[in-house]
Structure 1
Amino acid sequence: MAATLRGRCFPWVWLCRRAWPGGGRHYRAARCAELKQPLAIEEVAPRPVGPHEVRVDVHFCGVNFADILVCRGQYQERPHLPFTPGMEFSGTVLETGTDVSTVKEGDRVIGVSGFNSMAEECITDQKALWRIPDRVPLREAAILPVSYGTAIMALEHRARTQPGETVLVTAAAGATGLAVIDVATNVLQAKVIAAAGSDEKCQLAMQRGAESSVNYSQGSLKEAVRKLVGSGGVNVVIDTVGGDIFLDALRSLAWEGRIVVVGFAGGTIASVPANLLLLKNISAMGVYWGRYQDRNFPVFSRSLSSALQYCQEGRIQPYVGAVFKLEEVNDAFLHVIQRKSTGKVLLSLK
């Protein structure tokens, strides 16, 4: 009997953990051996943990567009082949290094990693782990690092969003878009206009807290926003699309408005017309959330601590769009590539 994965067949025994000569166990991992090719599920021998490292039993791993890009060789970071993708995860601590003091065996944690968490186990530095509060399930916790870390960083740290302000978010039904709606509405008490590419996605964004929505596949985003808020414009834009959508959103800003660039899901990087910044005293800024881990760790850590606190207090409600098994990782990637996904797509390792 064999398991089929995107045209490749693997014996069932190969997909299971087995004992290895060193006395430990191999574990399954999704491996990228060649760029732009389907991932394979392989057995990997565990390595020893370093003094400051932690071995985690991964329960859930987020599927991000960055994982797809890195497997195509199109991301800012380019790991050496072969590698295991996966930037964020939730799980329980299996083993700690001799100098680890922040977590202990059995702790439930979320973590961020440099592309190695689409596996049954991963090893990461203790500084890349945060303990999960008792009331937060592992599945919902896995959504928090990238999506909510980015949303909190964009809204709070960069845009300095204030209560009562109007926030326009593009790709509003995606993982980051829904996180922006959640944080802006339920934590910051702002009003949200959700912009998305279909009526169904707009409806979901409304259900998740947006005050109004715009389907930008049906006409000008700028004109639709103008009908909603008048010539005054919106105070904050969180854009993950780029291209013409970015430009329309930029032109929708109010006096002293702020636009935050989070990504370019549309595939086109727009040039900023500097005269628009001058005429309305607009601020244009970016958020590369992961870079804060190296450049300003206290701010990075605070974004995750805040996400966990908000979730523990019931102020935010992370939305799971779809869950795939590890051996379905290529189907999960295709689900995202074809823009079928809403909310966070997860891999379940259990």
Structure 2
Amino acid sequence: MKAVLCREYGPASTLRVETVPDPRPGPGQVLLRVEACGVNFPDTLIIEGRYQQKPPMPFVPGGEVCGVVTAQGEGVSEPAIGARVAAVITYGGFAEAVAVDAAKAVPVPPGVSPEAAAALGLAYGTVLHALEDRGALVAGETLLVLGASGGVGMAAIQLGKILGARVIAAASSAEKLEACRGAGADGLVDYSAEGWREQLRSLTEGRGPDVIFDPVGSPYTEPALRSIAWRGRYLVVGFAAGEIPRLPLNLVLLKNCAVTGVFYGEFTRREPAANRALLSRLFGWVAEGRLRPAVSQCYPLEGAAEALEALAGRRATGKLVLLTHAARPG
């Protein structure tokens, strides 16, 4: 099979597509013929050795896949051979085949495309876990999304609306904000402009957002936290800006607010049944037409480095997905 290999830590340009032996499913696993794999910010970290998990070299990056079951390991009866499933994994997805734990494989309903299914796992799974489980967002509240034009940000806009929130999107250019408006944002804030907190204050009638979804980090974290509503919840999702912010904790005291971590990958490992239920809800919303994953561009496996560079450079709007030869038309 063909796979994207990381043989040493470094930038995406060091990745190569090579022919390697097909994997075999171990006990409790199934083998997938990969049709699509989502491209995510953790992929940019794992190939540089900056992620929490460090796979043994060489390894295949890629943490969310959709594919068809072609073989079952010992002790596995479900999912059945021939079933289309999606799974969130740590690495291994940028390939034509991958072995995954059967317990992580979630059935993909009819009518949901492979690229849509591959876009749901990490971005939309992270967001739903963050907004409901960690942020306790309820209908009628105001949600501020930082980095709103990226894949996770777009997911936060869409799911915030499904959960009944008023969503304010923050991004760094007019073009990105227009994409956020198209995704359903009720209000827009350009946080590259001076005085962006005043924009936010005006949009919330001086009250501030109830929940802040932050996958970006410094330099936006402290100004956003200063703007949060009384009893607000600040969700720490990631640090795409590259720097981990240091917060003055007196702000947390003064606003009687909570700063809450969101580690979706560990949630999937510690609470697999809860995660399967979460992903099943997402797939159900897609099948019903309530949710349309914001996939902006698809690449072949050979385009993995280009996709990762676009993501790391914050040039991507929406989700990026790799398609294998099996999944591409023609």
TM class by shorter chain equals over 0.9
Per the alignment, residue 36 of structure 1 pairs with 10
SS of equivalent to 1:72? coil
**What residue identity is the alignment partner of 1:257?**
G
Give the 3-state SS of the residue equivalent to 1:290 in structure 2.
helix
The letter for the 1-side match of 2:133 is H
Task: Note if 1:76 corresponds to 2:52.
Answer: yes
What are the equivalent positions in structure 2 for 1:1-350 lying under 5 Å apart?
27-37=1-11, 38-185=14-161, 187-350=162-325
1:338 CA displacement: 2.1
- Offset of residue 323 of structure 1: 0.9
Equivalent AA in structure 1 for residue 249 of structure 2: A
Task: For 2:135 and 2:312, locate their aligned partners in 1 and report how far apart those are by CA, in whole Å.
Answer: 29
Letter in 2 for 1:126: A
Deviation of the 1:239 alpha carbon: 0.4
- Deviation of residue 102 (structure 1)? 2.4
Taking only aligned residues, the RMSD between alpha carbons, in angstroms, comes to 1.2
Give yes or no for contact 2:103–2:272 (8 Å, CA) kept in 1.
no
Q: Secondary structure at the match of 2:205?
A: helix
Structure 2 Cα separation of the partners of residues 236 and 293 of structure 1: 23
How much has 1:114 moved relative to structure 2? 2.4
Report how far residue 295 of structure 1 moved: 2.1
Q: Residues 137 and 47 (structure 1 numbering): CA distance in 2 closer, same or farther, change over 3 Å?
A: closer
Q: Which moved more, 1:148-157 or 1:221-230?
A: 221-230
Determine the C-alpha separation between the residues in 1 that align with 2:303 and 2:237.
28
Alpha-carbon distance between aligned partners in 1 of 2:247 and 2:273, rounded to the nearest angstrom: 30
Confirm or deny: 8 A CA contact 2:23 2:31 kept in the other structure: no
Percent identity of equivalent pairs: 38
Residue 235 of structure 1 deviates from its aligned partner by 0.6
Which string of whole-angstrom CA distances, capped at 9 and with x for unpartnered residues, describes residues 52-77 of structure 1? 11000101111111111111111111
Unaligned runs of 5+ in 2: 326-330
Query: Which amino acid letter does the alignment assign opposite residue 172 of structure 1?
Result: A
Shift in Å at residue 303 of structure 1?
2.2
Conserved? CA contact 1:221–1:249, under 8 Å: no
d(CA) in 2 for partners of 1:227, 1:268: 28
Scaled by the length of structure 1, what TM-score is found? 0.90
Mark the structure with the bigger radius of gyration: 1
Shift of 1:301: 2.3
1:109 aligns to what SS in structure 2?
strand
Tell which has more relative contact order, 1 or 2 (C-alpha 8 A, sep 6+).
2
Partners in 1 of 2:261 and 2:247 — Cα distance? 12
Moved more, 334-343 or 78-87: 334-343
Q: Cα offset for 1:94?
A: 0.9
Q: CA–CA distance in 1 between the matches of 2:270 and 2:25? A: 25
Q: Distance in 2 between matches of 1:55 and 1:313?
A: 28
Distance 1:53 1:297 in 2: 15
In structure 2, what is the Cα distance between the partners aligned to 1:219 and 1:302? 42
In 2, the alpha carbon distance for the partners of 1:120 and 1:30 equals 9
| SS in structure 2 of the partner of residue 284 of structure 1 | strand
**1:286 deviation in Å?**
1.0
Aligned residue pair count = 323
**Is the Cα–Cα contact under 8 Å of residues 140 and 320 in structure 1 kept in the other structure?**
yes
**Structure 2 SS opposite 1:268:** coil
Alignment check: 8 A CA contact 1:255 1:281 kept: yes
Given residue 116 of structure 1, which amino acid in structure 2 is its aligned partner?
G
What are the ranges of 5 or more consecutive residues in structure 1 without an aligned counterpart? 1-26
Q: Deviations over 1:181-231 (max 9, x none)?
A: 11111x211100000011111010011100011111122332220121122
Read off the aligned partner of 2:139 and give its amino acid letter.
P
TM-score normalised by L of structure 2: 0.95
Given that residues 289 and 300 in structure 1 are in contact (C-alpha distance below 8 angstroms), is that contact kept between their aligned partners in structure 2?
no
Quote the Cα distance in structure 2 between the aligned partners of 1:258 and 1:190.
14
CA distance in structure 2 between the partners assigned to 1:265 and 1:47 by the alignment = 32
